[in-house]
Amino acid sequence: MAQAPTTYGQLSSGFGYGGTERLSTSSPLIRLIIVILCFAGLSLILISLRPFQAQSIVAEIPDSGDQLKQVGFLAAGLVFGLALLTMADPRRIRSLMTPSFALLGGLIAFEMLRAPDGMATVRALILTVIGMMMTLALIILPRTERDFRSALALAAIALMAVSYAGIILLPDLAIHGYDAYEPQHAGLWRGPFSHKNAAGPVMSVITIFGIYMFRSGMRFSGLVVALAAFVFVLKTGSKTTSGFLPLSILIIGLAAATGKTWIAILVHVVAFSAAAVLTLGAAFDKGIFSLVRSLLGDGTYTGRTTLWEFNASMVPNHLWFGYGYDNFWLKPPVLSLDEPFWAAWDYRYIIHGHENFLDILNNLGVVGGSIVFWVLFIGPLFNYAKARKIPNNRKLADMFATIIVFLTLMSLLETFFLRRVDPIWAMHSLAVFGLHITARFDLGGIHRRRRKGRRVAQA
């Protein structure tokens, strides 16, 4: 006889812990503490400890990093680490013991050992691990989907309130002014984020949050969050972000509309392939460049093609293992080069290459890059297909999958993989862990148990 999916606290594959009593009998106080903790953690990731800190796309980051962020997130890491040890179900944590996550952990350890600048790399990787642990806790700690949704909604509302308050009260910081490197961005919104290229993707994810809230019964607040966030996306002036967001929503909407998850995944693969041709192809093919220029008015994607050409030319020099985690841009392999007077940008002082996949290859090589590609972009699609087989998980899985699809497309224009506690990377990490859990646990089963228990008690 086939085994039915089990409850929120029990693995759907049949090797979860023995029942739901631990979760279903959690005291209201514990549940409230977890909701507040998750709300605080997600708000910290989205708003950061230094909101409204303007930054050019071309800037040097001190090797010592931001000490306030380092201390603050280290403290947050300790709090969430303790919460995972004391309040999380160990079976859920043990569900993470998969070959792909083990390889990713091994890759992180390997990069620490091989780093030419050990302390800087270790600091960066520790922040990255803390960010991943916090997003993992946001998925694992809530006792019910309703608790998770409450924390998510509160954090989304808080971010939108801070962002619009900044536009009204701190326009000099929340809106791009004149920048010698980027004069074309004057007047575009960035809110509490350092740059519009961060604001656009994060606000797109908040739009996806709002859609999930609306679908899950939070009609008014979900609609307000989704509309406010989407307006903010438009005000960032990013044509690609504004285009990729509706496309991502449409792609995952196909799964709900047709009931066939494989159709959504197939369309995603086709859309990503087409987008890759139109973005990276513009850097290497004159015909594609001309086509993009006729469509968008700029075939260089605001000078990115210069970075992509240079980035691709450097990959063969360290093909298998790359230059090391975070050891390519703003490091000797690039800084020691002569100034490229012919290029649209002086790539020696670019923070990153604005292309996730090329940056992954240059930093980690083919070996490390293959692991990251699987964990971040391919594996989640398999988990999505599994998660949609559990009826109670479909809305939540759709939300996480939409984030994955959107950020996979955005990876063609931005770099955020394993980037400390960068909010874009944190949202991708949240979706990866979310699909892992929704593929293995029935998140709505606990509600069925409670209703059944009340009916039995009344009888």
Query: At residue 245, does pLDDT exceed 70?
Result: yes
Average pLDDT of 278-303? 89
Q: Where are the domains of the chain?
A: 27-55+66-452
Query: At residue 23, does pLDDT exceed 60?
Result: no
Q: Give pLDDT, residue 437.
A: 96
List, for residues 328-370, the tens digit of each pLDDT value.
887 777 877 777 777 667 777 787 888 999 999 999 999 999 9
- On whether the CB atoms of residues 115 and 412 are closer than 8 A, the answer is no
Q: Give pLDDT, residue 444.
A: 72
Q: Above pLDDT 70, what percent of the chain?
A: 86
By C-alpha distance, which of 152, 148, 193, 201 is closest to 175? 193
Query: At residue 2, does pLDDT exceed 50?
Result: no
- On whether the CB atoms of residues 410 and 35 are closer than 8 A, the answer is no
Residue 339, Cβ neighbours under 10 Å: how many?
Answer: 10
| pTM for this predicted structure | 0.89
- On whether the CB atoms of residues 403 and 205 are closer than 8 A, the answer is yes
Q: Give pLDDT, residue 91.
A: 85
Q: Give pLDDT, residue 239.
A: 84
List, for residues 42-65, the tens digit of each pLDDT value.
999 999 888 887 665 555 445 455
Q: Give pLDDT, residue 24.
A: 43
Q: Give pLDDT, residue 264.
A: 97
Q: Give pLDDT, residue 329.
A: 82
Q: Above pLDDT 90, what percent of the chain?
A: 60
- Window from 30-34, 178-182, 425-429, 438-442 with minimum mean pLDDT: 178-182
pLDDT band at residue 118, thresholds of 50, 70 and 90? low
- Window from 87-96, 161-170, 375-384 with minimum mean pLDDT: 87-96
Q: Give pLDDT, residue 456.
A: 39
Kindly report each contact of residues 165-174 with a partner whose C-beta sits within 8 Å and lies 24 or more positions away, as own/partner: 166/51, 166/52, 166/191, 166/192, 167/191, 170/52, 173/52, 173/53, 173/54, 174/52
List, for residues 357-408, the tens digit of each pLDDT value.
999 999 999 999 999 999 999 999 999 999 999 999 999 999 999 999 999 9
Q: Which residue's structure tokens are 């608790």?
A: 147
- Window from 220-229, 342-351, 393-402, 445-454 with minimum mean pLDDT: 445-454
Distance CA 404, CA 387 (A): 14
